[in-house]
Chain A
Amino acid sequence: MMAVLGRARWAVTDGWVVGRANMINWRRNPGLIFYCMMFPIMTVVFGYVFGSAMSVAGGGDYREFLMPGLFGQAMMFGVVTSMLAVTSAVSRGVTDRFRSMPMAQSGVALGRSFADMFSSLIELTILLGCGLLVGWRWHEGPGKALAALGLLLLWRYSLIWVGIYLGLLLPPEAAGAAYVPLLPLTMLANTFVSPEKMPGWLGAIAEWNPLSSTVSACRELFGNPGVTGGSWVAEHAIELAVAWPVLLLVLFVPLSVRRYRTLSR
């Protein structure tokens, strides 16, 4: 028991040391902030332009409907950020140095996840600012709004680990091309359109997309329009917005840690 605790403590300490080094990136690379703002600004403009032309199932303002979708989508794109960071560290040999050291073997992955979580916080803050700027609001009080942000960050954290694993698994070129399959995955959900408005089978897939659960839960907690009941998945959005990420974490944390250990490129 003590040994396990000791190991866990080192994993967190080492993760913090590695993560902090990665975070310095932000202070030294102010350009990174602008790079991170590109996506939110583009999507907000997109929402602004098309907002008036779209109607929401169950009524309501499209911009209010869209924002939680964009938040969820942006968090999902984090998979690529993590993949790129991981492949870059491997190709620079930095990962091998870590692996040849007597540090906690899970420390490298943990450090990566800490650093990426820090970037996510910055990114989400920018997104929220942009949303508020174009008139998006929360209506259910700060407590529920914070709960929604918590769900978004949990969603992101689970995807960071998916990204770490895929980054270690796939060749470096694949990481850069990951947007190609990812973009349709983020759209085949309730991000931009309610699944009810899609053809039957497509709607079913979109409803079961884990992203949809997080977005639905956020709409509910923020008090934004587009929360339509009916199916079992839609009824249990908040529970599923916790369950999906937890499931991903249970799968991908051990997979990633083991992958670091057996990495042999």
Chain B
Amino acid sequence: MSGSAKAALVAEGLRKTYGSETALDGFDLVVPEGTVCALLGPNGAGKTTAVRILSTLLKPDGGRALVAGHDVTREAAEVRRNIGVTGQYPAVEEILTGRENLEMWGRLYHVGRREAQRRTEELLEQFDLTEAADKRLKHYSGGMRRRLDLAAGFFTVPKVLFLDEPTTGLDPRNRNEVWKMVRSMVEQGTTVLLTTQYLEEADRLADQISVIDAGRGVVEGTPETLKSLVGGDRIVVTLAGTADLAAAAAQVARFTGTEPEVDAEARRIDAPVRDRVGDLVEIVQMLRGQGHGVVDVSLRRPTLDDVFLHATNRAGRRKEPVG
């Protein structure tokens, strides 16, 4: 890499196919040291495949990747010494307690029994598991499992940490906990590559977002760049009939200053707003004043769909995500 910061991770033209299915199709990524990169994409985009290749679990069919300065295929052992991984589903031994799980993983990092025990206590504390330490995993909630899984991945304070959908399936409270923990790991100098299906998560955690679809990068940038691409919050108004939809859309366009998206079939007008509640009230009042029947109105934050829509220049809606 030329230029300023050193890269903790470089991927160039990674390709992977499963039979006739192309999972990665020339995937590139550069993540500077000490930063958080979010790989954002729908189900089936190739996120897990990318993470598995970068963490030496899977061989790419083409391209190359360096993690912590080592080639993932030719220097896999070196790479493993520098990474921590948590997969899409928590990898924990059900039959063991939380403490036993951590001690076992620790011993396998070859830090010695004493150090494994010391570090285990530290991690239990840091990941808020001290109380449940001697309970068997089958009594753990999804959030606790996830935290234990993260603690295991963080055992040696790795240079690079891979987190595959760390908050999928968690309730908002646990999701916030996980976010907090990811931030504290970054504070200790770890570079994080995480995957997510949620724009909000990427926005909260990442210095850099890379949007991936159908095995390749679609758009890349800071959360601000992406948000400026899609704009802020949006209002969605559903009308009673379709007859005056065009007229109503024109009024909304005049009010917001941009052309709204119109879904004729659902009788919906979707437009960006600046002042969430103020704009909502005014738009509804305006429409009703003009005799339009408003049956539903809601505010929404931009989603992954919006990013795609704008990144691909509205060249038609992308296909529905699978699974």
| Residues of A participating in the B interface, judged by any CB pair closer than 8 Å | 10, 14, 17-18, 21, 24-25, 28-29, 92-94, 96-103, 107, 262-264
Q: Are B80 and A93 in contact (CB under 8 A)?
A: no
Q: Are B80 and A262 in contact (CB under 8 A)?
A: no
Beyond A94-B93, A262-B59, is A28–B108 a contact (Cβ under 8 Å)? Answer: no
Smallest CB–CB gap between A207 and chain B, Å? 42
Q: Which 4 A-B pairs have the closest CB atoms?
A: A93-B91, A97-B91, A103-B108, A100-B85
Beyond A21-B96, A94-B91, A96-B87, is A102–B55 a contact (Cβ under 8 Å)? Answer: no
Beyond A21-B93, A24-B95, is A100–B57 a contact (Cβ under 8 Å)? Answer: yes
Beyond A24-B95, A24-B100, A262-B59, is A97–B152 a contact (Cβ under 8 Å)? Answer: yes
Dominant SS among interface residues on chain B: loop
Which chain A residues lie closer than 8 Å to B105 at the CB level?
97, 101
Q: Are B91 and A17 in contact (CB under 8 A)?
A: no
Smallest CB–CB gap between A86 and chain B, Å? 14
Of residues 82 to 137 in B, which have CB atoms within 8 Å of A's CB atoms? 83, 85, 87-96, 100, 104-105, 107-110, 136
Smallest CB–CB gap between A21 and chain B, Å? 5
A17-B104, A103-B108 known; 15 new pairs, CB 8 Å cut-off, are A14-B107, A92-B92, A93-B87, A93-B89, A93-B90, A96-B85, A96-B87, A97-B85, A97-B91, A100-B56, A100-B80, A101-B80, A102-B77, A102-B110, A264-B58
The interface size of chain B toward A, counting residues with CB under 8 Å, comes to 30
Residue pairs across A and B with CB atoms within 8 Å: the count is 69
Which chain A residues lie closer than 8 Å to B87 at the CB level?
93, 96-97
Which chain A residues lie closer than 8 Å to B108 at the CB level?
14, 17-18, 98, 101, 103, 107
Q: Which of B58, B104, B152 is close to A18, meaning CB atoms less than 8 Å apart?
A: B104
Nearest B residue to A261 via CB reads: B76
Q: Is B6 an interface residue (CB 8 A)?
A: no
Q: Are B89 and A25 in contact (CB under 8 A)?
A: no
